[in-house]
Structure 1
């Protein structure tokens, strides 16, 4: 059961993060050899505040989610985290020189981190503690079918179109795929919250809004306001950190810098949902755990691709979405094992280990492409 009693720091951190982000953006970071220690200090403080703010935002999101009940609480957390990722990617797309592959690398990293890493940890740790866990095949199969359609349409199909260079869409194709992404994700949300709500509910969970009346309306408004403030602060701070990493990798002449920056963005924004999903699995709430984890991957593609597509069309900046052949193989592998893993309606430690092995392969190829 989630408590609405929060420490004072939970109310102080979001405004502090926003103030720090505003200060860094307004005054910048000193350049030059003589100010190297200042740059390192500011970057370290920024990263620490950023990580703390991520966890505080999770607390406020879960407090609101507790009041709303399931599955609305899970959707709230998913929307909040996806908003962060979309904002970071779009802001970095518009930062400095054209960076056509950043959105692709961030979305691909999100899918791999969720479907291989987060899901692998949830299945392994949950089954280790409870021996085996059950899930609802109807809801999980629906999530995987939408996820498969979205990933193939947005990350694989661009390599096989003829109107433009391989890996990119023409403007008409980009608009069409963006509309399909929004339509598929909206259909999933409708099925999860209205039409087939029972297929996504974990019957064993005590996470609901039944007792939410104990929370005062004032505290709920405070949670909502601080959630928004925290998200804005995270976006601004993460952009600063990501730009610093990107510039550092460029100075070191690292060829796969976009892949590393994309993985960093995905890891950072997925931290709240990853922790919530692992916590649910340990509480033997596997269906809720999968709703959080896989739902975040759906939201990332369903909302990020249309956002970056619109930014590309408006600004005229090139957008490359087609994956390389190696990444395509990894994507096909993780989607296929997910279908097999959840097909029986029961998971064990072995199921989770398979996902984790694929995740380790993803990390290896990220470091040694």
Structure 2
């Protein structure tokens, strides 16, 4: 026993068997790459390196998110990735708002709308399709999915639809008082949802127990040191994902301009890159027939995007007196209403097949198509 503790070779061997070396090195490399790329234009070689690093860091983020989820348990594990991505996403939006004077007024609206469409149609549809293909029929807890969807529908209507129908200001905007009210209500409702999900009715958001896995899962839970290391590495990974996505944004924007595509395509592309870690984590849980955990990840992302992004950007907008368009154009409004209606049908059934997943993916494809050809 003493020899195994004092022998550094044994300690390093145990560390390497638990955590792959690339899961430690890649987040650090991504952050170093961001420093190197700061203020520089991307050539073909640097663009290729950035893309490969971005995809690799996404895999690392998923790995560390699963380590953290294994340690803290559900539904706390699903919240870690959603909250971390959303906090960094808010920072990205703020930096772009302060630096870009062009389309900054609609940046928050476009980002939140894209997140809802990607999560509720793309991520949920992919989870349902792949999960049902492998397990024939997937099941989940209505007690956990229905409350989450009710909060999403309320916040989306309050922040993305209602501004088009108010009379105090012209256009898709809120007055200062209305914006303050909407931001406060969004934050309070999201906080109440977190209280219900993690404390008051936590069991409603847990996957159905599988007796054969209970003891093994508890026995193999990572140590406090591994948990702390994974938490730090997850944050570094997410910084790398968002930073590289922002670095590659000018290339995407240049491609959009060269092909005469709408400017909103840039926001969709960045949102897709930022949500990659959550998408992969949710799909992996669906493939393991743990659909409730996948839904916790997906719906948690949409909730955090509205419940944290809108209040934060609203406060900054009021403080700096920046313009902020929130109301959606008619086409996007129709897609949002269809998405909420379809998601309500899917998530209140408790079971789903490949047909449910296919329908969501069709709506997602429609969203992408209309983003390119409005």
Normalised to the residue count of structure 1, the TM-score between the two structures is 0.90
Give the direction of change, closer, same or farther, for the CA distance of 1:59–1:208 in structure 2 (3 Å limit): farther
Say whether the 8 Å CA contact 2:70–2:221 is kept in structure 1. no
State how 1:39-118 maps to structure 2 within 5 Å: 39-98=43-102, 99-118=104-123
CA RMSD of aligned residues (A): 2.2
CA drift of 1:122 comes to 1.2
Tell me the secondary structure at the aligned position of residue 208 of structure 2.
coil
Aligned to 1:12: 25
- The whole-number CA distance in structure 2 between the counterparts of 1:24 and 1:174 is 37
CA distance in 2, matches of 1:87, 1:212: 38
Of 216-225 and 171-180, deviating more is: 216-225
Cα deviation per residue 1:51-103 (whole Å; 9 max; x = unaligned)?
22122122122211211011111111111121232222222112232421122
Among 29, 52, 55, the alignment partner of 2:40 is 29
Deviation at 1:234, TM superposition (A): 2.9
Please report how far the alpha carbon of residue 44 of structure 1 lies from its aligned counterpart in structure 2 after TM superposition.
2.7
CA distance in 2, matches of 1:323, 1:340: 23
> Does the CA-based 8 Å contact 2:69-2:78 persist in structure 1?
yes
Residue 94 of structure 1: SS of its match in structure 2?
helix
Map of 1:60-209 to 2, 5 A cutoff? 60-98=64-102, 99-204=104-209, 206=213
Kindly provide the CA deviation profile for residues 253-272 of structure 1, in whole angstroms up to 9, marking residues without a partner as x: 83621x21221122112111
Cα distance in 1 for partners of 2:214, 2:320 equals 44
Q: Residues 75, 17 of structure 1: CA spacing in aligned structure 2 closer, same or farther, 3 A cutoff?
A: same
Q: Distance in 2 between matches of 1:366 and 1:129?
A: 32
Residue 45 of structure 1, CA deviation: 2.1
**Pair 4,308 (structure 1): closer, same or farther in 2 beyond 3 Å:** farther
CA contact (8 A) 1:67 1:209 kept: no
- Distance in 1, matches of 2:214 and 2:89, equals 26
Q: 1:173 to 1:192 in 2, by over 3 A?
A: same
Does structure 2 conserve the Cα–Cα contact (< 8 Å) formed by 1:57 and 1:231? yes
Offset, 1:316: 2.4
Tell me if structure 2 keeps the 8 A contact 1:136–1:199: yes
- TM-superposed deviation, 1:50: 2.1
1:213-232 aligned within 5 A: 215-232=222-239
1:214-238 per-position Cα deviation (integer Å, ceiling 9, x unaligned): 5333322222222222233333322
Moved more, 211-220 or 319-328: 211-220
Asked if 2 retains the 8 angstrom alpha-carbon contact of 1:17 and 1:233, the reply is yes
Question: 1:211 corresponds to which residue?
Answer: 218
Inter-partner Cα distance in structure 2 for 1:354 and 1:360: 10
Taking the aligned partners of 1:149 and 1:208, their CA distance within structure 2 comes to: 40
Note the C-alpha offset of 1:343: 2.3
Q: 1:207 Cα shift?
A: 8.2
Once residues 76 and 301 of structure 2 are traced to their aligned partners in structure 1, the CA distance between those partners, rounded to angstroms, is 14
- Gaps of at least 5 residues in structure 2 are 1-15
Paired with 1:254 and 1:187, the residues of 2 have a C-alpha distance of 44
| Deviation of 1:208 (Å) | 9.6
What is residue 260 of structure 2 aligned with on the other side? Answer: 254
Q: How many residue pairs end up in the alignment?
A: 356
Evaluate the alpha carbon distance shift between residue 77 and residue 243 of structure 1 in structure 2; reply closer, same or farther with a 3 A threshold. Answer: same
Structure 1 position 292 matched with structure 2 position 300:
no
Q: TM-score under structure 2 normalisation?
A: 0.89
Aligned pairs for 1:348-359 within 5 A: 348-359=353-364
Q: 1:278 to 1:199 in 2, by over 3 A?
A: same
How many angstroms apart in 2 are the aligned matches of 1:126 and 1:332? 26
Q: Name the stretch that deviates more: 3-12 or 74-83.
A: 3-12
Q: Using the alignment, how far apart are the partners of 1:209 and 1:235 within structure 2? A: 35
Shift of 1:366: 1.1
Distance (Å, rounded) in 2 between the aligned partners of 1:248 and 1:317: 28
- In the alignment, structure 1 segments of 5+ residues that lack a partner are 31-37
